[in-house]
Amino acid sequence: MKVYVGMSGGVDSSLTAALLVERGYDVTGVYMKNWTQDLPGMKCPWADDLADAKRVAVQLGIDFKVFDFEQEYRDKVVQYMIDEYKNGRTPNPDIMCNQEVKFKLFLDAAIEDGADMIATGHYARVENGALKQAVDTNKDQTYFLYRVTGEALKKTLFPLGEFTKPEVRTMAEERGLYTAGKKDSQGICFVGKIGIREFLSQYVKTVPGDIIDKKTGKKLGRHDGAIFYTLGQRHGLDVGGGLPYYVVGKDMDKNEVYVTTDLNDDSLWKQQVTLAGVHWINHAPADGSYHIRVRHRAPLAECQLTLGDDVQFTLRHPERAVTAGQSVVIYDGEVCLGGGIVV
Amino acid sequence: MQPFQRDHFFNPSSPYAPALAVRRAYQEAKDVIARAIGAKADELVMTAGATESINLAFGSIDGHVVTSAIEHHAVLRAAEQHGNSTIVPVGKKGVVSVEAIAAAITPATTLVSVALANNELGTVQPLSKLAEIIRKERQRRRDNNDLTPIYLHSDASQGVGQLDVNVARLGVDLLTLNAGKIYGPKQVGLLWAHSGVRLRAQVFGGGQERGLRSGTENVAGVVGFSVALERAVNGRKAEAERLRKLRDNLQEQLTSAYSNVIISGDQKRRLPGHLHVSFPGLDAERLIFLLEMENVLLATGSACAANKGTRSHVLTAIGMSDEGADGSLRISLGHLSDEVTVRQGGEAIIRAVAKERERMGR
């Protein structure tokens, strides 16, 4: 069985490759070259990451290749992200990267190149084509994987889904893997250490605007571009004094950001959620009782699902900061069924 | 160096007495450096390394520049920045053709820049013949009452310690040197220019280094450089002989183990401690990663180019195939190399090559 492992140069994908070699697979390591551009204040670490991935491949005695997806990544992930922000939404590039790059382009290119299956270092499990949460529920990455197809998952291995992150570190050390001590990458995969704000300002021209108290209509201060603000956001408002303010709305046309100190403000809490762009990993579930997750690592929330012309949930308890453009992922017990984007 | 980082930390330009001692030490270090290359201390501009020296040399020049296709990126990029330049191709042996350089010189040429030894192939370039060409051109201009100057610049960073770097014997007008390549500190270098060359400052400020390179003097670095350079120059002949034997043995060891091995660089004109070897079809970076696990540290092309994942411009320039270039190792021997370590290194390379061939053959 020939398996192509996506190796990023991090400890997770390094151990993934090592485990598959030990289990007798014919393993080839692949570095996906998605982003190489330096940005002001941040040197893109791709060359070091590539070298680390290759070092581990050499250590394991496996073949190693580089698949260049730079153009596609720019078109399908980065552009999508910028467009979403421009429209006042808060997208998740990792979800898009999995959908478009790792479990589509990479899978297809690997199969084309002679692989039977692919593997990645995601914390998730696949059983009979169903996506299940990782054993380490704290690390579980199924939230990022809900837009992957069942067909792709049938050709995918996630060896790390059975282990906790501390176990993974220990196993990497025991094997003396070159990357065993490497720090986990921070933030959005390609933006890395710089914030999304710095990244966006390279691509979107922003204009300062007013921060307005939703209740009183009073101008409280200025912001440097409405796209930088997310519903429910508390920090970084620079509106001084007293109780903390929360973002409760934006008007992209007027370039206004609305805030409140009232944590019970209706717009901060949602009980009814409507989803668009719904994707089911295998097939649509029946109406009934499920759990949803509104962001990575958010606790699972109980809800009632109603499938009509669109997909609607009624949450048992209202959830805070369920934002337009954000992904909601649906679970039936441990199984991740799919999800959609909040309207 | 250490006393100048700890006790004698005073700014050499300060007026109080302890600073004077630092100033003297700095001046003495420059004297030592100047003596080692047969120059005067006042002809030196201390810099933060060869790259800066090269940029200072190129930045001082108006008019046309001639250089070769196998120069270090510092020279090629500086030439590009300069704009008006001709990059002369080289032959398969990696030695610059004197005739080709001569042909590229125009009446507007003011600078010819060729490294003493190529950093990747180790090939030693015909500097004294180039100097002869330039002398003739200078004479021609003088005869025509043409005042356009023409200078020969050489980056000798790669040759110092193994080759003669006396400026008069090299016949150069400008010389770049670097401390890092001779076991000195990094970020320390120099540009020597004879008194007839008018340099143009690229870094402005307090007027240190005769106004040509402002910024507080790197006292510890320059002291370190002086010690390193003095040792390198004094020990050069014996060290070159020792390294040549080690290198020849290693070459013999590798070529007799494998038939499909390419040794590049003119065999009669190489740095004694340098060996450029290619295993076509293999991935040199994999070999390096295998070898580093055994503490055998080698490079592919020049370290900087390899990191960018691009093929070496030097190997492309000498017409090496992509297959050969991708399988190329640059082996430099030095003070730490002895008969035992070099033989063991050779054995490790042979093992790594065997391992890679086995993996690929399956």
Q: Judge whether B307 is closer than 8 Å to chain A, CB to CB.
A: yes
Average pLDDT over residues A35-51: 81
**What pLDDT, on the 0 to 100 scale, is given for residue B309?**
58
* Chain B residue whose CA is closest to A66: B309
For the cut 90, the answer to whether the pLDDT of residue A185 exceeds it is no
Q: How many other β-carbons are positioned within 10 Å of the β-carbon of residue A238? A: 12
Average pLDDT over residues B280-293: 93
CA distance A209 to chain B (A): 42
Q: Mean pLDDT, to the nearest integer, of B219-238?
A: 97
Strands B64-68 and B85-88: parallel
Flag whether residue A54 sits within 8 Å of chain B, measured between CB atoms.
yes
Q: In the predicted model, what is the mean pLDDT of chain A?
A: 89
DSSP A85: H
pLDDT, chain B, mean: 94
What is the per-residue pLDDT for B308?
52
**Domain spans, chain B:** 2-234, 236-361
Of the candidate ranges B5-9, B238-242, B264-268, the one whose mean pLDDT is the lowest: B5-9
Return the residue in A27, A33, A58 with the most chain B beta carbons within 10 A, the one to mutate for interface testing.
A58
pLDDT at position A236, please? 64
Interface check for B196 against chain A (CB to CB < 8 A): the answer is no
- C-alpha distance from B360 to closest chain A C-alpha (Å): 8
- Chain A residues whose CB is inside 8 A of the B286 CB are 54, 58, 64
- C-alpha distance from B264 to closest chain A C-alpha (Å): 26
Contacts of B308 in chain A (CB under 8 A): 47
What is the average pLDDT across B234-251? 97
**Stretch A17-40: mean pLDDT:** 92
**Residue B219 a catalytic site member:** no
B289 lies within 8 A of chain A by CB? yes
Distance CA B190, CA B297 (A): 28
- Tell me the percentage of chain B whose pLDDT exceeds 70: 97
B160-183: average pLDDT: 96
d(CA A105, CA A116): 15
DSSP 8-state code for residue B159: T
Q: Could you tell me the pLDDT band of residue A263, with boundaries at 50, 70 and 90?
A: confident
Task: Residue B125: name the closest of B148, B149, B106, B153 by CA.
Answer: B153
Give the one of A47, A58, A63 whose C-beta lies nearest to B289's C-beta: A58
Half-sphere exposure of A78 (CA within 13 A, CB side): 19
Domains defined for chain A, CATH in brackets = 2-174 (3.40.50.620), 210-257 (no CATH), 266-342 (2.40.30.10)
For the segment A29-37, the average pLDDT, to the nearest whole number, is 90
Q: Provide the ipTM.
A: 0.84
% of chain B at pLDDT higher than 90? 87
For position B17, what pLDDT does the model report? 87
Is pLDDT at B362 greater than 60 in this prediction?
no
Across the range A91-111, mean pLDDT stands at 93
CATH topology assigned to domain B2-234: Aspartate Aminotransferase; domain 2 (3.40.640)
Domain B2-234 shares a fold with domain B236-361: no
Helices (H), chain A: 11-22, 46-60, 70-73, 79-86, 93-97, 107-112, 142-145, 150-154, 165-174, 196-203
Higher pLDDT: A197 or B117? It is B117
pLDDT in tens, B156-169: 999 999 999 999 99
pLDDT digits (tens, 9 = 90+) for A124-137: 999 988 999 999 99
Residues of A within 8 A of B290 (CB-CB) are: 58
Touching check for B286 and chain A: CB below 8 Å?
Answer: yes
Of the listed ranges A6-15, A30-39, A40-49, B254-263, the one predicted with least confidence: A40-49
Identify the closest residue of chain B to A56 by CA–CA distance.
B289
| Residue A313 pLDDT greater than 80, yes or no | yes
Closest CA in chain B for residue A178: B293
pLDDT of residue B303: 45
Tell me the shortest Cα–Cα distance from B361 to chain A, in angstroms: 12
Of residues A184 and A302, the one with the higher pLDDT is: A302
Of 3.40.50.1100, 3.40.50.2000, 3.90.1150.10, 3.10.20.30, the CATH number of B236-361 is 3.90.1150.10
What is residue A220's predicted lDDT score, i.e. its pLDDT?
A: 86
pLDDT (0 to 100) of residue A188: 53
Chain pair A-B, CB pairs under 8 angstroms: 19
Q: Pick the catalytic residue from A44, A97, A303, A336.
A: A97
- Answer for the pair B243, B251: CB distance below 8 angstroms, yes or no: no
Pairwise CB contact (< 8 Å): A58 & B286: yes
Condensed to tens digits (0 to 9), the pLDDT of residues A246-258 reads: 888 888 889 999 9
The DSSP bridge partners found for residue B331 are B275
End-to-end CA distance of chain B: 54
pLDDT digits (tens, 9 = 90+) for A126-168: 998 899 999 999 999 999 999 999 999 999 999 999 999 999 9
B-chain residues near A51 (CB < 8 A): 285, 307
pLDDT digits over B298-356, tens only? 877 544 444 455 788 999 999 999 899 999 999 999 999 999 999 999 999 999 999 99
Q: What is the pTM of this model?
A: 0.87
Please check whether residue B310 touches A, CB under 8 A.
no
Beta strands in chain A (DSSP E): 2-6, 26-33, 63-68, 117-119, 124-127, 130-133, 156-157, 209-213, 219-223, 246-251, 256-260, 269-280, 288-293, 301-307, 311-320, 327-332, 335-342
Identify the helix (H) or strand (E) that includes residue B168.
helix B167-170
Interval A43-65 mean pLDDT? 92
Would you say residue B186 has pLDDT above 60? yes
CB atoms within 10 A of CB B127: 24
**Segment A218-241, tens digit of pLDDT:** 888 888 888 888 887 876 666 666
Q: Is there a contact between A61 and B359 if contact means CB atoms under 8 Å apart? A: yes
Residue in chain B closest to A59 (alpha carbons) equals: B290
Structure tokens at B295: 């503490």
Write out the two tokens for A158: 């996630």
Mean pLDDT of A109-116: 98
Map residue A166 onto helix, strand or coil. Answer: helix
